[in-house]
Structure 1
């Protein structure tokens, strides 16, 4: 099967539509935190060993900006700073139970919003989409695991 010349553009448009659906699911419920704060909570939930410096790297901001974000999240009861039990000088960022509840509710709203779009698609198309997304994810993963050209030349 030959690839249509506009496949990348179609994927880009679908990604934009998906982002719109996901953002709409969050904004309809008047989230009490900004998208950046939600991203911070997601990052520290996924990476329990995160400190402010690591968070700054992940966000590509200076540590003082990351620290101010954490200050605001801590003030709203969504984040705690705790001493690392292995090194008391190191401070880890931990989501609170309220943050985990917030993220869980957001995830459910997003899933419902995506499901509403999927429900407007024929079953066969949904199945084809599932297969295509799995194949895309595998290809992307294989591409990220492949050595870079420079690394391959020096090996």
Structure 2
């Protein structure tokens, strides 16, 4: 079997290729949304109860930086701030229909770009990749959920 460091280098190289394919799909989108703003939209899409504090924490930035990102997204019609019905002192962040369309379009573009790459692979290699990715996820998820990090050996 290959040494763990050689395998890790191969995974890292593949991750970089994957990132390049996904970034190419993002850049082909019109309008192009900067990565930091796209991350905000993704965080808000994943949690119906995102407020400015939770967003700043998720981004690992100070609240004023998160607020400026939201200002830009609000100005482009991708984000709305509304009073939280549970606590009117809180401001909830909501995606607009335009943001939902943008995220759906990006997901479709990414899947198409990945599909194009996968189509160039032999069928047996695609099946092997699927099994390997499922095994990787199964090995990585328990540690990530428990906060212990990935196994080292």
TM-score clears 0.5 = yes
Change (3 A) 1:9 1:62: same
What residue ranges of structure 1 are gaps of 5+ in the alignment? 149-155
Give me the whole-angstrom Cα distance separating, in 2, the residues matched to 1:9 and 1:35: 26
Task: Deviation per CA, 1:61-108: give whole Å up to 9, x if none.
Answer: 110010011011011110001111111111110011000000000000
> Secondary structure of the equivalent of 2:93?
strand
Give me the whole-angstrom Cα distance separating, in 1, the residues matched to 2:79 and 2:146: 37
Query: How many residues are aligned here?
Result: 147
User: TM-score, length-normalised on structure 1?
Assistant: 0.90
The aligned counterpart of 1:115 is: 115
Contact 2:26 2:32 in 1 (8 A): no
Shift of 1:3: 3.6
Task: Report 1:130-145 matches (<5 A).
Answer: 130-145=130-145
The aligned counterpart of 2:20 is: 20
Task: Deviation per CA, 1:111-153: give whole Å up to 9, x if none.
Answer: 00000000000001000100000010000012224574xxxxx
User: TM-score, length-normalised on structure 2?
Assistant: 0.91
The aligned counterpart of 2:101 is: 101
| Bigger radius of gyration | 1
Task: Report 1:1-155 matches (<5 A).
Answer: 2-5=1-4, 6-146=6-146, 148=148
Shift of 1:31: 3.3
RMSD across aligned positions (CA): 1.4
Give me the whole-angstrom Cα distance separating, in 2, the residues matched to 1:146 and 1:66: 27
